[in-house]
Structure 1
Amino acid sequence: MPRNEPLQVFEYESLRVGAVKGNTKFQQKHFKALVKLNELHGNKYFTVGYKKITFQQYVGVLQVDDLCIEVLPKADRNAAKPGVWRNVLIDMLKATRKLKVNQVEHANVTKQSKHFLDIYFEWYLDEVQKLIHQGLIKKYDRKQGNLTILKGKLVFAKQISQNLVHKERFYTQHQVYDKDHLIHRILYQALGIIEQFTRGGYLYGKCKSIQLDFPEVKAIQATAATFTQLTIGRKERPYTTALEIARLIILNFAPNVKSGSEKMIALLFDMNNLWEEYVLVQLKKAVQNKEYRVLGQHSKTFWNGISIRPDMVVMKGDKTEFIIDTKWKIIDQHKPSTNDLRQMYVYNEYWQSPKAILLYPTNEEKEFKIKEFENIEGRGTHHQCGLGWIGVIKNGALNKEMGKDLLKLLAIE
């Protein structure tokens, strides 16, 4: 299906029915389809009002038939710069390995003019094409069917129901060694979805060519449970990336949602998680040649099997130096929420850390404030909490020196 110019909105912005950009209009049918999609995902992507949707912290791309909506992050209150923030999002996804963009772009299509979905689709097509050139693997697979020879195990129920008058046939379950197995069925299903969303675009021909080169496999409708059945060993390891993208495409595709006829796909990422992961990647890179190390996803049991986990723990040897918790939000008058402060106090206690930092995004110069928690009678002050801000954009692009900037902020040499 050919796509028009995308509608670009920022997180926490509203989109009303009738909104127009260029030759693209947000219509009532799009609104109804997105409401259904949101319901399928626990109403987490946006809130619904009267003929409008208000986006939450999820950024990325949504497509309903010919309508493409790009939801962009934004870490300031200044004039919107969609082009800059679009590239910031793409570069963040690349840095956290959620996206791969070739250095050499398509001959006549730049990263800026590509639909966001096409970047993912092209990555997937390149991965599948590479697998075909390397040679697709064969696997053993169980199959059932009528044969003229007894091969494998006889399926008695089917034999009686189908071959009662055909004594020359045997309904069996047997093993075959070929390319028609679960991995290839998943990959082919994702190719079919891409075919639907690239008609009229430059990727359509490439997709059809790959489909023609792909072996004939049984059609399936994969679900989240299907992917749990996969076993990835040494032989299947080259398929890892392709399967990860296929999973993203298949599980976020909603054909004919409920009673509607619109086909939809939503590749959306929680900006809170993306910000945390990007800061972690940059900070780990910055301390590589220093005596510090950075731990992410480091949890401790808190109560009755419940764990707590700060975003980052900065250690020097066996001693905790800093606890860092990232917050993708703009706060007024340097006042964090009470819950955030309580959380940092607990982190300091459990990790025996002298300092905790609440880290926010910004594009302005802001003072780094660190302050001791108030005296607790009989215990005195023994740790502190600071508010820090790190610039997201530098020289018109994503700040790729963020780790070094953070070390300066923390006064780590």
Structure 2
Amino acid sequence: MKPIESIVVFEHEKLYFTDEHKKLKLDQALENYYGDGTPFFSLIKNGVKFNQHVGVIKIAQTTIEILPKADHNGKDEWRQLLHDMIRTVWGFEVKVSSSASLKLKKNSILNLYYELYVKEIEYLLHRGLIKRYNRKEGNLHALKGALHFSKHISQNLVHHERFYVKYSHYDVNHEIHRILYKALKLIEQTNSKSDLSSRIGTLLLNFPEMSDVKVTDSTFEKINFDRKNQHYEKALQIAKLLLLNYHPDVSRGKNNVLALMFDMNRLWEQFVYVVLKKNIQHIDIKVRAQQSKEFWRSENGASRMKPDIVLEANGNRIVLDTKWKNLNGNYLPSTEDLRQMYAYHRYFKATKTALIYPGEESKLIKGDYSAIEHDEVTDTLTCGVAFISTHQNIKQWKENIVSFVKDNFLASHKTY
């Protein structure tokens, strides 16, 4: 049966399985994937319900896109915005022609990563693959390295012309390249874009064939970057993302699942931070992320708090906490969020705090903490509820964020 090319939904929406989905066994694949402990959706009767994670789940040749939603913009606009947010956070610069930009509207985020990875491997091959010393052992006709005496005796009792030795070999066949090659083979297997197929084929012809390697989180944790291999970091980041999120269907081999998903709460936080860091920070204004401070301790350990973004300007400290939520028009944050901001006031000695939401229009609503008897400090504490308007043009959205923060939190005459 011909696969369904693409299914597109928004975050928190439900996807009900049709007869066509069931014939393609999408329901079984998602149910099995959920059984492995996925946090991206929950099972409902005859379907699944997605949560705050967005991105793409690819099952065989069928792609399920889960897009963010914060305003009236449609699927094409939010697909492009999601691409641009990830590029901003990861620092990728992808130059595309106007025609390629139009094609992007029909492509999933998976194609973005395939394009980025292919581009990185092309760059590495053009620059030249680095070499490393590899430990090897084997039966050679010449003495090389150290003689492995026990194996030499057992294997060469009647072959006096051979030596079983351990030695080091300086070449490109080492773990970093094995990882990159494995990710390239995965892309070849799962790619469905004809314009990328030829580039992938060329890379596989020019990339030395590598032995297979088992990849886990610890595989990447053990890689140390230095002056010689620093330019490999971006390619390895994408390889890690692809390989650790690939779930082969070992029982049938037809419904392999590749999931590239992002928590929108975390992506929104990183996006706002990177935009402010690049456009506001200078000698008089510091923009910091995830500053940690201890606020509770016991004999069993300590607990710490980390606000999303801290601005320091003119002796003032402003704490911003990003929330990817829709308050449904009542502009009333949760009690838990307000308590969190109160603690930031106290422990970080913040002069201002605010919760930052995406919205259809930019506005700042002032909120005061209720006074506590005999506590003059609390009477001065405030927490703003800020909505920054989204825009289908990423450049304009970034400008909205920068101007809103400057006008409402950094302008000397603003006290809200």
Instruction: Map 1:111-260 onto structure 2 (within 5 A).
Output: 111-155=104-148, 158-159=151-152, 162-163=155-156, 166-199=159-192, 201-256=194-249
Distance of aligned partners of 1:19 and 1:161 in 2 relative to their CA distance in 1, 3 Å threshold: farther
Structure 2 residue 63 is matched with structure 1 residue 65: no
In structure 2, the gaps of 5 or more residues are none
- Structure 1 SS opposite 2:185: helix
Q: What amino acid maps onto 2:359 in structure 1? A: T
DSSP 3-state at the match of 1:8: strand
User: Does the CA contact (< 8 Å) of 2:84 and 2:394 recur in 1?
Assistant: no
Larger relative helix fraction? 2
List per-residue Cα deviations over 1:61-98 (Å, max 9, x = no partner).
1100011011100013x4x6100111110111111126
Residues in 1 aligned to 2:394 and 2:252: alpha-carbon distance in whole angstroms: 45
Relative to structure 1, is the Cα distance of residues 161 and 379 closer, same or farther in structure 2, using a 3 angstrom cutoff?
Answer: farther
Q: Could you tell me which amino acid in structure 1 is paired with residue 324 of structure 2?
A: W
Mind listing any 5+ residue stretches in structure 1 that lack a counterpart?
none
Distance 1:211 1:400, change over 3 A: same
Alignment correspondent of 2:77: 84
Aligned residue for 1:368, secondary structure, equals strand
Identical pairs, percent: 38
The C-alpha deviation readout for 1:212-236, integer Å capped at 9, x for no partner, is 1011322212221111221211111
1:33 to 29, 33, 37: 29
* Equivalent-residue separation in structure 1 for 2:326 and 2:170 (angstroms): 57
TM-score (norm 1): 0.89
Distance 2:390 2:235 in 1: 30
Q: Which of 346, 352, 360 pairs up with 2:349?
A: 352
For the Cα contact (< 8 Å) 1:292–1:314, is it kept in 2? yes
Which amino acid is 2:241 matched to? L
1:390 to 388, 391, 401: 388
- 1:7 corresponding residue in structure 2: 7
CA contact (8 A) 2:355 2:383 kept: yes
User: How many residue pairs were aligned?
Assistant: 403
User: Against the structure 1 CA distance between its residues 186 and 405, is the aligned structure 2 distance closer, same or farther, given a 3 Å change threshold?
Assistant: same
**Partners of 1:239 and 1:166 in 2: how far apart?**
44
Aligned to 1:314: 311
Q: What's the TM-score once normalised by structure 2's chain length?
A: 0.89
User: Residue 334 of structure 2 corresponds to which residue in structure 1?
Assistant: 337
Contact in 1 for aligned 2:183/2:239 (Cα 8 Å) = yes
* CA distance in structure 2 between the partners assigned to 1:138 and 1:337 by the alignment: 55
Specify the code of the residue in structure 2 equivalent to 1:256.
D
Question: Aligned AA for 1:219?
Answer: D
CA distance in 2, matches of 1:200, 1:164: 57
Aligned-CA RMSD value: 2.6
SS where residue 380 of structure 2 aligns? coil
Q: Which residue number corresponds to residue 407 of structure 1?
A: 406
Q: Secondary structure at the match of 2:291?
A: coil
- Structure 2: distance between partners of 1:246 and 1:299: 30
